[in-house]
Structure formats: structure tokens, C-alpha cells
Amino acid sequence: MRTFTILWSGQMASAIGTEMTQFALTIWIWQVTQETTAIALISFFFQLPQILIALFAGLIIDRFSRKYLMIFSDVVVALCTILIGLLYSTQTLQLWHLYSLAIAYGCCGQIQTLAFTASISSIVPKQHYARVSSLKTLVNYSSAIVAPALVGLFYPTIGLLGIIAIDIATFAVGIFTVFLVHIPQTFDLEATALTSKTIWKQLTWGIHYILARPSLRAMTIVFCLFLFTYHMSETLYQPLILARTGSSAQVLSTVVIAAGIGGVVGAVGLSIFSGFQRQVRGMLLGFVGTGIGSMILGLGRVPGVWIGAQFFAALNIPLVYSSSYAVWYAKVKPDIQGRVLAAAHTVGLIVGAIASLIAGPLADQLELMMTSGSWTASIFAPLVGTGSGAGIALLYITISLGMVLIGVGGFAFPTLRNAEDLLPDHDHE
């Protein structure tokens, strides 16, 4: 656990710095455009290259040192952040710059995430898989607490350039911690002996592996359905709060911090109690809990409701991811996890990118309909009102209901519900 703890600490520091920059830039984009689509396109351009590189990333991770891949990825992302600072300092920063750099962020972020994820089973005992998965999730939610608070504290005095400087410093911490540790890696002989005739076979190998196992296939399908609704909700909730509050950064930061606290509480709880004995059950219940919290947020019109709802929704996310990863770690051999996890990530990324791409235009269209006196407004006005943000709220409630139905419906399929019994552990094959 010592190696994981060191790596985890560095990733935590780096995530806080990155979240600070992203939070500040999200507010900047809304203030400049007042459009949900502009924010949604950042998510789309971040995810699009991940789709293109994901299968290659899995193959790379099974062939090369995961340690140095993590370092390389962090260095490239740090350079992109420096470039944003330079463009802003010369007053030439444009939206298309951010969209372009989001592509580089997405490529390197995909490699870094997969390298870290695929390393866990080689540095952590099997009985701790669910625990470390929850701690991995804790990185994102801790940064969601600390970053908005730090931005609120420092931004008025040091500005965006100062925030970026902090981000660069945290990248240095993250890279240094990776240098400190040894990450063992077993290389799969099939992946290391590539020829022009076998490369396509290797790129699609992970997909065929999942398709050949009905329970893994079922897990991938249900998780992608959840990801579709979840990515839409993540794309929409910040514009929803900004629209409902007249672009109040203070209210938005409070809601974001509440989400971070919820995620931390959920992750810490799982790191102590290791989650459900039946991990698939935990994953499905996590879908339901996230959807209920999101529905309450969409229905709410005051900060107190948004804060409580987002706390509860985020409380369930560590359960979703830690439960899912615990099954993959236990059922897939470590030397092929790079390609298998990359295949699952690729499918999820395609779904997420589509969700992010359509969320913005759908929300903007519903905004027009809810403020123009159309039949839609007359039917749904009692539920969400007709002011700014009403259309976004209507879409948000709909997709949140979808999350609940996906979670409940998952229990009806034995192939999914009994996946842990139907799939042998990799060390028992």
C-alpha cells in the first residue's frame, strides 16, 4: 500500500491544481458567451481524442513502462497549461484555443489515467481493490472541495495567471512522486511482439475479450447507459446554477464544494468499509442514488436545495466507480488489463462524447421553448418555471430519472446481477 499511497498523494496535489484552472476557465467561458453549448464543447473536445487514442493507449500501456507514461502525460498537460497562461497574459486567449488544447489534455489524460489504473492490481493486494478504487475516486472529489475554495480565496488578488502558477507547481509535485516509486509491470508477450499484420488484432483484442464474456459485456452496456446520462448531467449542472443565479460564481462554487464533500465522504466511507460484498449490487444502487440526488437538484430553485442534492448525488459516485473497478481488477489478469480497460474506456468515451455534444444544443433549445410561451412551457412551467435555466432544468430532471431507471432495471438481468459468480477471478483461472 505504501507505493499506492505515494502515487495517490501526488495525483491528489496535481488534481487540485488542474481543477482550480478548469473551474476558473468555466466561469470565464460563461461570462464571455452565456451559452451552455460553449461549455459543453469543452467536454466534447476533451473526450473526442480519448476515443481515438484509447485502444492505442491500452496497447501502449501493456508494452511500455507505466511509470514513465504517467510522467510523460503529466509533462505534456503542464506545458498546455503554461500555454493557456501565456495566451491569457497577452490578451489573445480565445475559445478555439481552449478547444484545441482540450484535445491534448484528453489524449494525455487518457494515457495517464489508464496507466495509473492498470498499475493498481500490481501494487495493491487483492483484498484492497475496492478500498483503493474508492481512494482513487477521492482524488477527484477532494479537488472539487479544495479547488473552488482556493479560487475564491486567491483569484481576486492573483488572477488567472496566479491560479495557473499554482497548477504548474502541483504538476511538479505529481511528477516527483511518480519518480519516487517503483511500479512493477508484467509485459504480455502478445502485446510486445507486434507486426503490421497483428497490430489491428491487438487494438481490437480488448473489445473481443469483453464481448466473449457475457457478464463483462452486460457490465459495459449498463455502465455506458449510466455514463450517457451522467455526462449530460455533468455538462449541464454548472450552466444550470449560473443561469438560475445570474452568473453567481459564489453560489456555483458552494454547490461544487458540496459535491466535492459528498464525494469525499462517500470515498472515505468505502475506503473504511470496502463497500458491498456483492460489488455489482453496489454499482447499481450507486446509479439509483446518483439519479435521485440529481433529480432533486433539477427540481430545486434555491442554493440550499442544490447544495444538499449535489452532496447526495456525489456521495454515490465513489460507490459506482469503486464497485465497478473492483470487479474488473478481480476478473481480468494484470498483464492484459491495459487493453481490456482501454476497450471498456473507449466505449464509455464514445457514449460520453455523444452525451456532451448533444447536451448543450438540447438545453439551449429547451431554454428558448420554455421562455417563448410554447406548449412545452405551459405543460412544464409548474415543475421548473419559465425563467432563465428552466429549459436546462427540464432536461436535467429527465436524464436524472433515466439514471434511476437504469439502476433499478439492472437488477432484472441475471447475467449482470450475478456477474461475480459467473466470472472466475483471474488468479483462479
In this prediction, what percent of the chain has a pLDDT beyond 70? 88
* pLDDT reading at 186 higher than 60: no
Q: How far apart are CA 81 and CA 21, in angstroms?
A: 8
* pLDDT reading at 304 higher than 60: yes
* pLDDT reading at 57 higher than 80: no
Average pLDDT, the chain: 82
pLDDT at residue 127, as a whole number:
66
pLDDT digits 0-9 by tens, 223-248: 999 999 999 998 898 889 988 888 78
Across the range 204-218, mean pLDDT stands at 87
Percent of the chain as helix, strand, coil, to the nearest 5 = 85, 0, 15
The full set of domain ranges for the chain reads 2-181+195-421
Which residue, among 8, 429, 21, has the nearest Cα to 213 in the 3D structure? 429
pLDDT at residue 37, as a whole number:
78
Q: Which residues of 192-205 are buried (b: 16+ CB within 10 A; e: fewer)?
A: eeeeeeeeeebbeb
Q: How far apart are CA 31 and CA 249, in angstroms?
A: 10
Q: How far apart are CA 183 and CA 65, in angstroms?
A: 8
Across 21-35, 183-197, 240-254, 392-406, which has the greatest mean pLDDT?
Answer: 392-406
pLDDT at residue 270, as a whole number:
79
* pLDDT reading at 352 higher than 70: yes
pLDDT at residue 228, as a whole number:
94
Query: Which pLDDT band holds residue 189 (cuts at 50, 70, 90)?
Result: very low
pLDDT digits 0-9 by tens, 40-52: 787 777 777 777 7
Among 82-86, 294-298, 330-334, 416-420, which is the least confidently predicted range? 330-334
Q: How far apart are CA 323 and CA 280, in angstroms?
A: 6
pLDDT at residue 199, as a whole number:
53
Q: How far apart are CA 310 and CA 253, in angstroms?
A: 12
Q: What is the CATH number of domain 2-181+195-421?
A: 1.20.1250.20
Across the range 140-161, mean pLDDT stands at 75
* pLDDT reading at 197 higher than 50: no
pLDDT digits 0-9 by tens, 68-126: 888 888 888 889 889 998 998 888 888 888 888 888 887 887 777 777 777 777 777 76
Better-predicted residue by pLDDT, 179 or 56: 179
Across the range 346-367, mean pLDDT stands at 86
Better-predicted residue by pLDDT, 274 or 216: 216
pLDDT at residue 403, as a whole number:
96
Contacts of 341 (CB under 8 A, 6+ apart): 58, 114, 117, 118, 206, 328, 332
* pLDDT reading at 129 higher than 70: no
Contacts of 113 (CB under 8 A, 6+ apart): 345
Which residue, among 143, 175, 156, 171, has the nearest Cα to 20 in the 3D structure? 143
